[in-house]
């Protein structure tokens, strides 16, 4: 799948931080059961790569990517773990080189029109507006669409179930990223049905 096809598979991509490796597989099953197949497992915790590996092995319907890529060496390790796409909070020359070298499709974070233009010139047409709400939210996305209509976004950062439809209504938005699908208290308590319900609601957003 291309990165754009992946983005269009789920209206919401959950941003997942795994604090306990035992959460990985039941969480993936709960999300996929609710219709959310694209999962971004971040490297914010030490369990990130192991969680990706576990999800890929146990939940074949999940499309598992890696988030919070900040160092070039993380690309090869993520591919080895089974990630099929990567997400970064920003974009540097070193990350561009690592993405090209590894072949891992990268969704890089941008915040300003200049950063959008720089990423686009480097060949990245699918971008993450991050942090989306502080960066200007829906107003910024609509403003960028005029001069740069060939770029597609996954805005992430500060988006909720209530505000997600406003972002999804933008012409240049394929999906949104959000952490509301994976509440820490629900994971800790094993309330996987609750997470499936959140995923079901997210997958039916207009």
Q: What is the pLDDT of residue 119?
A: 98
Element containing residue 108 per DSSP (H, E): strand 106-110
Calculate helix-pair angle for 192-203, 24-33, nearest 10 degrees. Answer: 40
- Select from 43, 120, 20 the least CA-distant residue to 89: 43
With a pLDDT cut of 70, the percent of the chain lying above it is 100
Catalytic, 5? Answer no
Q: What is the pLDDT of residue 171?
A: 98
Tens of pLDDT along 155-183?
999 999 999 999 999 999 999 999 999 99
Average pLDDT over every residue of 30-40: 98
Domains of the chain: 3-203 (3.20.20.70)
* Catalytic residue (choose from 5, 40, 74, 184): 40
Catalytic, 40? Answer yes
Q: What is the pLDDT of residue 172?
A: 98
Give the pLDDT band of residue 191 (cuts 50, 70, 90): very high
DSSP character at residue 83: -
Tens of pLDDT along 40-63?
999 999 999 999 999 999 999 999
Q: Any alpha helices (H) in 48-126, and if so which ranges?
A: 48-58, 73-81, 93-102, 113-121
Q: What is the pLDDT of residue 120?
A: 97
Q: Contact at 8 Å (CB) between 65 and 87? A: yes
Tens of pLDDT along 1-20?
999 999 999 999 999 999 99
Average pLDDT over every residue of 18-46: 98
* Catalytic residue (choose from 11, 128, 171, 184): 128
CA distances to 10, 37, 166 from 62, in Å: 11, 5, 26
pTM: 0.96
Tell me the C-alpha distance between 187 and 190, whole Å.
5
Tell me the C-alpha distance between 202 and 3, whole Å.
20
Q: What is the pLDDT of residue 184?
A: 96
């Amino acid at each position: 799948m291309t990165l754009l096809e992946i983005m269009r598979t789920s209206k919401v991509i959950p941003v997942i931080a795994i604090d306990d490796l035992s959460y990985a597989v039941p969480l993936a099953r709960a999300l996929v059961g609710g219709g959310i197949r694209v999962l971004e497992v971040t490297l914010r915790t030490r369990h990130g790569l192991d969680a990706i590996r576990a999800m890929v092995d146990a939940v074949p319907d999940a499309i598992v990517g890696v988030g919070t890529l900040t160092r070039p060496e993380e690309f090869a390790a993520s591919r080895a773990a089974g990630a099929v796409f990567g997400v970064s909070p920003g974009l540097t020359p070193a990350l561009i080189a690592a993405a090209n070298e590894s072949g891992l499709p990268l969704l890089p974070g941008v915040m300003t029109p200049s950063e959008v233009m720089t990423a686009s010139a480097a060949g990245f047409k699918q971008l993450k507006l991050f942090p989306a709400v502080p960066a200007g939210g829906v107003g910024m996305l609509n403003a960028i669409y005029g001069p740069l209509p060939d770029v597609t976004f996954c805005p992430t950062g500060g988006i909720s179930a209530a505000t997600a439809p406003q972002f999804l209504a933008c012409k240049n938005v394929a999906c949104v990223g959000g952490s509301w699908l994976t509440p820490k208290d629900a994971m800790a308590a094993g309330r996987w049905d609750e997470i499936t319900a959140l995923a079901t609601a997210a997958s039916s957003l207009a």
